Each structure stands twice: as structure tokens, then as C-alpha cells.
Structure 1
Amino acid sequence: MEITGLFVLAALVIAGFAGLESKLGRTDRRIAHVERRLDLILDHLGVREDPPHLPQVTAFLRDGKKIQAIKAYREATGAGLKEAKDAVERMN
């Protein structure tokens, strides 16, 4: 009986994590959708965001150290990996 209880508990924990992961995925998609809409509004209004001045990132790019530049960008701005990679590629 004790082993059966452990299996049931493990199944409940796994199901809980799966549900949480699903909810986080939906939240990420909704945030991305809102960000795209906000970008469209800003483009329509002609509002441009100046990229932050990041001398360390620029120095890493100048030295051909793209990964270090992405890490430095993330540390300086708090951006996620994809956002930092895209920003560094635009700077390059």
C-alpha cells in the first residue's frame, strides 16, 4: 500500500508541474502577443526607443566575442536570452 501511495503522490506532483508549465506557456504567449501589439502602436506613432549605451557590449562585439556581448547585455538590461541575442545582432 505504501508504494501505491508514493506512485499516486508522484503522479499528482508531475500533473501539477505539467499544469503549471502549460499555464506559464500560455502566459508567455500572451505577453509576446501584447508586446507585438505594443510595437505596432509605437511604430504607428513614430516612437522609437533608443538602444541603451553599453560600452562593454560594444567592446565585446569589437573583439568578436558575441556570446560575452550577449551575457553583458543581459546583465546590464535584465533582458531575456532571445531579446539580448536579437539586440546584440542588431548592434553588430
Structure 2
Amino acid sequence: MDSWEAVLLVIATMGSVAAAAGAWFQERRSSATQLAAVQRKLDLVMDHLGIAAPEEPEVVRHLENGRTIEAVRAYRKQTGASLLEAKQAVDRIAADRRLPPFRTRT
């Protein structure tokens, strides 16, 4: 085998591996997007039917301590929601518990 043939074989192999990895990452990203869309639809149906989503104890604890940002962060970590969805959910939890959504730290 000539040295050019070996170089071409290595390049072709690297290209094949890169293409397979790219397809795998694309499929994974697509699945995550589809799951997020299904979850948003389920949340809308639950809101329409007046079914309250279960509250996360860590989120409630942060809200009771006046740490809204930490509550949003905890909600996102537990549910995988976007920043806007998490903020809206935390505001709903605060309203249901009659806690102010934002408190100033003293």
C-alpha cells in the first residue's frame, strides 16, 4: 500500500466517524426538542383542566426563604424547563402559596 493510499484511508475513516457522531448528536437533540414540546403541551392541558402540577419541595423552600432565582434554578434542574417556563411556574407556585414572587433581601 502506497503512503497516499494510507493517508486517504485514514481521512476517509475519520470522516465516517465524524459523520456518525454528528448524526447521533442530531438525533439526541431532536429527541430532547420533541420531549420539551410534549411537556409544554401537557402543561397547557393541565392548566386548562385546572390540575395543579406537583410542587417541588426544594423550589418551595427557596421561595419561602425569599430566594426566587434559586427557586427558578432548582425548578429548571428538576424539570428541564426553559428559563421562561421555569419563571412562570415558580411565579404560579408563589401565587398559589400566597408568597410574593420577588422579595428583596435585607
TM-score, normalization by structure 2: 0.56
User: Which of residues 40, 43, 46 is equivalent to 2:47?
Assistant: 43
User: Which residue number corresponds to residue 73 of structure 1?
Assistant: 74
User: Gapped runs of 5+ residues in structure 2?
Assistant: 92-100
Query: How many angstroms does 1:82 deviate by?
Result: 4.1
More helix by share: 1
User: Which residue number corresponds to residue 15 of structure 2?
Assistant: 11
Distance 1:79 1:29 in 2: 14
Pick 1 or 2: higher relative contact order, CA cutoff 8 A, min separation 6.
Answer: 2
User: Gapped runs of 5+ residues in structure 1?
Assistant: none
User: Which residue number corresponds to residue 21 of structure 1?
Assistant: 25
Counterpart of 1:29, as a letter, is: T
User: Which of residues 50, 57, 60 is equivalent to 1:53?
Assistant: 57
Q: Contact 2:46 / 2:53 at 8 angstroms: preserved in 1?
A: no
Distance change (3 Å), C-alpha of 1:36 and 1:49 = same
- CA RMSD in angstroms, aligned pairs only: 3.3
What percent of counterpart residues are identical? 16
Query: How many angstroms does 1:49 deviate by?
Result: 1.5
Of structures 1 and 2, the larger Rg is shown by 2
